[in-house]
């Protein structure tokens, strides 16, 4: 097998085998067939990526077909949203089609099946049908109406179509086998009566085809070569083929290509609900503001929160195509958006929990406009001017009256560097009657060449603009919110999934447009929300600079002995554990690398620069240790560690290395 063949996923292997066995490449055709009964969510992006990705790989058409067979739950709003989402992801469909386009053809074929003795009208109640269908371990029994004559079935079916009967009085069933071990083959329903207006066909029809009857025949009508769907449809394949093979006899001259159904594992994401029915409940009960609420896993919600098409496509690429169900950690999705925005988002300064700093030796009437780099990852991003004045805001957490040696921010008697500005020293504080600090009095030093450990972001009070800041956390506190059969998934809703704050921003953000994205330095990535106006700016927090859930995540109870850290690692210092993780790093799978990275980022908070610097001299062949060192260094720099020549030299050597992971980590600093 060639290297190229080894890189193929199992679906591509199936296609390549079909091509090798005589299928003409120009006969390849795929489709993405959503039901327009809700908004697309992150789980759908895998199916979208697979079908449209195959279209791109084989230069084959991909249809967007709406399987609109249930007018009670389908709306034009959902059709429009689905089209918008797919286009936003960067995919183009060959044809926009609807199963409702085929209602007459499906009806005609159903009539032919009645004539052939393969379908009959059943007049039992739904309760009676459910009872006679049996169980997975007990065979079903035939309907008392199964032996109706062809003439009677045709008459009843035509009268059903004419609207003579109320809903629930009759259904059309396929006549297969009530003793089949596959319950889906026990005379499945093909049509039911619904006196409901359809969003496209209006009141033309009062009988509507069932999904299993419509879906495969729509594939056949469109001459889809490979019908790809998620694993829950695997038991349906037998029925898919049964319908297909019977209809093939009616239309093989005009429609020579019988489609082939194959299944892949759907995308399951931790801390996330993937059921459209349950997502609709969140909307209807007001837990979220709508389908596009930035806490929702819908594509429109992710877009509004600030996720990019490229980050989602990268995520799907990393997840890959599998045959078995698994749960992907949501941190992988968050990693992909961080990686994307790190390259593209301009850096700006904003303070979200302010405390006032008065620079007592800076003239009261003076102001300066200092130069600040927009994005050190993008040479074309250029520079901007930020104003500096006597009174500024910094974050409350960036100051302590007294602090230990590992606190690299501002403390009484200590010095820090203000980003893009001067070095200041804290001399005294002013407190209110409750003992809360209201002002920090500092002096500034124009000698910016001095070496200090901490660097803080800040905003000039005089020039600051205000904005509403919406900080989002995970919508559910449980890793698998709908897995507990004894509890309603709503019990796991995170009451703190949305926090509203007033932010104080540098004035360069005064004229931002909806959708623009920025890194608020040391705080995270933010984008301008749809609700934002010139009079009231609104920013959404897309994601933090690092995974804040890594240290909160409870350890699984299963396989406890296997998962808990080895005793000797618990006793080691943080730097020793980082070294140990680094030794294994390059041999780990990508998802495990992400977990190791999160652990290193947490450990880095307990490491001093004196402990880390000796690892700068690690041998070239020990790439994993150098990667771990870079990850830890990045955290320390974000927490205020001042760069020096040794750090710069270490980073530059890493950028010039042959190891791609090492280069990527170095380029991210």
Rounded Cα gap, residues 301 and 474, in angstroms: 13
Q: What is the CATH number of the domain that holds 291?
A: 1.10.1160.10
Which residue, among 493, 465, 61, has the nearest Cα to 272 in the 3D structure?
493
Q: Is the pLDDT of residue 5 over 80?
A: no
Residue 294 falls within a domain, yes or no? yes
Q: Clarify whether residues 375 and 340 are in a common domain.
A: no
Q: Is the pLDDT of residue 557 over 80?
A: no
Q: Clarify whether residues 340 and 473 are in a common domain.
A: yes
Q: Clarify whether residues 356 and 424 are in a common domain.
A: yes
The number of angstroms, rounded, from the C-alpha of 229 to the middle of its chain's C-alpha atoms is 19
Average pLDDT of the residues in 277-306: 97
Q: What is the share, in percent, of the chain residues with pLDDT greater than 90?
A: 77
Of 307-311, 402-406, 470-474, the poorest mean pLDDT is in 402-406
Q: Clarify whether residues 476 and 455 are in a common domain.
A: no
Residue 440 falls within a domain, yes or no? yes
Q: Clarify whether residues 474 and 336 are in a common domain.
A: yes
29, 31, 35, 390: the active-site residue: 35
Q: Clarify whether residues 588 and 534 are in a common domain.
A: no
35 is catalytic: yes
Domain boundary among 181, 211, 241: 211
244 is catalytic: no
Average pLDDT of the residues in 576-584: 88
Domain boundary among 211, 230, 256: 211
Helix axes 574-585, 623-638, angle to 10 degrees: 130
Cα dist from 30 to 33, 55, 638, whole Å: 10, 7, 47
Q: Clarify whether residues 358 and 371 are in a common domain.
A: yes
Residue 559 falls within a domain, yes or no? no
Full domain range(s) for residue 629 = 574-668
Average pLDDT of the residues in 386-401: 97
Q: Clarify whether residues 174 and 150 are in a common domain.
A: yes
pLDDT tens-place string over residues 338-386: 999 999 999 999 999 999 999 999 999 999 999 999 998 888 999 999 9
Task: Supply the DSSP symbol for 518.
Answer: E
Q: Looking at residue 583, what is its pLDDT?
A: 87
Q: Clarify whether residues 512 and 533 are in a common domain.
A: yes
Q: Is the pLDDT of residue 584 over 50?
A: yes
Q: Is the pLDDT of residue 564 over 70?
A: no
Q: Is the pLDDT of residue 76 over 80?
A: yes
Side by side, the strands of the sheet bearing 423-431 are: 455-456, 415-418, 423-431, 437-445, 354-359, 391-395, 459-460
276, 314, 409, 546: the active-site residue: 276
266, 425, 470, 522: the active-site residue: 266
Q: Is the pLDDT of residue 123 over 80?
A: yes
Residue 10 falls within a domain, yes or no? no
Q: What is the CATH number of the domain that holds 178?
A: 3.90.800.10
Q: Is the pLDDT of residue 4 over 60?
A: no
Residue 50 falls within a domain, yes or no? no
Task: Supply the DSSP symbol for 8.
Answer: -
Q: Is the pLDDT of residue 154 over 80?
A: yes
Into how many domains does the chain fold? Answer: 4
Residue 154 falls within a domain, yes or no? yes
pLDDT-based confidence at 567, cuts 50/70/90?
very low
Of 313-327, 528-542, 580-594, the poorest mean pLDDT is in 580-594
- What does the mean pLDDT of the chain come to? 92
Average pLDDT of the residues in 488-498: 95
Burial class (CB in 10 A: 0-12, 13-18, 19+), 44: buried
pLDDT tens-place string over residues 250-268: 999 999 999 999 999 999 9
Q: What is the CATH number of the domain that holds 399?
A: 2.40.240.10
Q: Looking at residue 559, what is its pLDDT?
A: 45
Which residue, among 583, 584, 576, 582, has the nearest Cα to 607 in the 3D structure?
576
Q: Clarify whether residues 371 and 436 are in a common domain.
A: yes
Q: Looking at residue 610, what is its pLDDT?
A: 75
Contact 413, 426 (CB under 8 A): yes
Q: Looking at residue 608, what is its pLDDT?
A: 84
Contact 255, 222 (CB under 8 A): no
Q: Is the pLDDT of residue 547 over 80?
A: no
Residue 43 falls within a domain, yes or no? no
Average pLDDT of the residues in 223-234: 95
pTM of the full structure? 0.80
Residue 622 falls within a domain, yes or no? yes
Average pLDDT of the residues in 471-495: 93
276 is catalytic: yes
**Three-state DSSP class for 180?**
coil
Q: Clarify whether residues 444 and 527 are in a common domain.
A: no
Cα dist from 125 to 131, 206, 235, 647, whole Å: 10, 18, 25, 77
Radius of gyration of the chain (CA): 31
Q: Clarify whether residues 407 and 542 are in a common domain.
A: no
Q: Looking at residue 405, what is its pLDDT?
A: 83
């Amino acid at each position: 097998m060639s290297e190229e063949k080894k890189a193929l996923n199992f679906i591509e292997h199936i296609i390549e085998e079909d091509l090798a066995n005589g299928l003409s490449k120009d006969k390849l055709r795929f489709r993405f067939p959503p039901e327009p009964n809700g908004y697309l969510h992150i789980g759908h992006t895998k199916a979208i990526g697979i079908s449209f990705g195959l279209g791109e790989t084989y230069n084959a058409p991909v249809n967007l077909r709406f399987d609109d067979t249930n007018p009670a739950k389908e709306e034009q709003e959902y059709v429009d949203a689905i089209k918008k989402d797919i286009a936003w992801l960067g995919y183009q469909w060959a044809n926009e089609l609807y199963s409702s386009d085929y209602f007459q053809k499906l009806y005609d074929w159903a009539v032919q099946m009645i004539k052939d003795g393969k379908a009959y009208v059943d007049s039992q109640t739904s309760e009676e049908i459910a009872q006679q269908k049996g169980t997975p371990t007990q065979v079903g029994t035939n309907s008392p109406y199964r032996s109706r004559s062809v003439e009677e079935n045709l008459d009843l079916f035509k009268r059903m179509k004419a609207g003579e009967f109320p809903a629930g009085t009759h259904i059309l069933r396929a006549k297969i086998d009530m003793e089949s071990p596959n319950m889906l083959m026990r005379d499945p329903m093909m049509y039911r009566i619904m006196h409901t207006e359809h969003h496209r066909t209006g009141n033309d029809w009062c009988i509507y085809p069932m999904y299993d009857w419509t879906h495969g025949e729509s594939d056949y009508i469109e001459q889809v070569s490979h019908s790809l769907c998620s694993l829950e449809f695997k038991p349906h394949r037998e029925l898919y083929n049964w319908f297909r093979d019977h209809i093939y006899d009616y239309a093989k001259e005009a429609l020579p290509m019988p489609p082939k159904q194959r299944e892949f594992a759907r995308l399951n994401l931790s801390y996330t609900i993937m059921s459209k029915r349950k997502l609709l409940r969140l909307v209807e009960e007001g837990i979220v503001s709508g389908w596009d609420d930035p806490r929702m896993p819908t594509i429109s919600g992710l877009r509004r929160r600030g996720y990019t098409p490229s980050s989602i496509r990268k995520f799907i690429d990393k997840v890959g195509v599998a045959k078995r169900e698994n749960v992907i950690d949501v941190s992988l999705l968050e990693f992909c958006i961080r990686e994307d925005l790190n390259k593209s988002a301009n850096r700006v300064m904003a303070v979200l929990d302010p405390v006032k700093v008065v620079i007592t030796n800076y003239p009261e009437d003076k102001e300066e406009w200092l130069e600040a780099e927009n994005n050190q990852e993008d040479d074309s991003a250029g520079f901007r001017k930020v104003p500096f004045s006597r009174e500024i805001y910094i974050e409350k957490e960036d100051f302590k009256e007294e602090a230990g040696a590992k606190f690299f921010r501002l403390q009484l008697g200590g010095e820090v560097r203000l980003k893009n500005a001067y070095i200041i020293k804290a001399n005294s504080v002013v407190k209110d009657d409750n003992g809360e600090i209201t002002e920090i009095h500092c002096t500034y030093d124009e000698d910016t060449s001095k070496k200090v450990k901490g660097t803080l972001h800040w905003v000039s009070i005089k020039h600051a603009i205000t904005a509403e800041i919406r900080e989002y956390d995970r919508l559910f506190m449980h890793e698998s919110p709908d897995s507990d059969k004894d509890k309603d998934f709503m019990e796991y809703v995170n009451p703190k999934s949305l926090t509203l704050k007033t932010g104080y921003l540098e004035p360069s953000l005064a004229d931002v447009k909806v959708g623009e994205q920025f890194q608020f330095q040391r705080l995270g990535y933010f984008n301008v929300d749809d609700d934002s106006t010139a009079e009231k700016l609104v920013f959404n927090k897309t994601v933090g600079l690092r995974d804040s859930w890594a240290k909160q995540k409870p350890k699984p109870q299963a396989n406890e002995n296997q998962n808990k850290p080895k005793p000797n690692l618990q006793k080691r210092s943080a730097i020793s554990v980082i070294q140990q993780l680094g030794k294994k790093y390059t041999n780990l799978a990508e998802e495990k690398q992400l977990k190791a990275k999160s652990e290193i980022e947490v450990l880095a908070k307990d490491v001093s620069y004196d402990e880390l610097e000796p690892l700068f001299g690690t041998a070239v062949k020990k790439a994993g240790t150098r990667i771990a060192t870079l990850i830890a260094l990045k955290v320390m720099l974000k927490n205020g560690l001042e760069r020096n020549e040794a750090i710069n030299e270490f980073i530059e050597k890493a950028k010039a290395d042959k190891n791609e992971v090492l280069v990527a980590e170095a380029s991210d600093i």
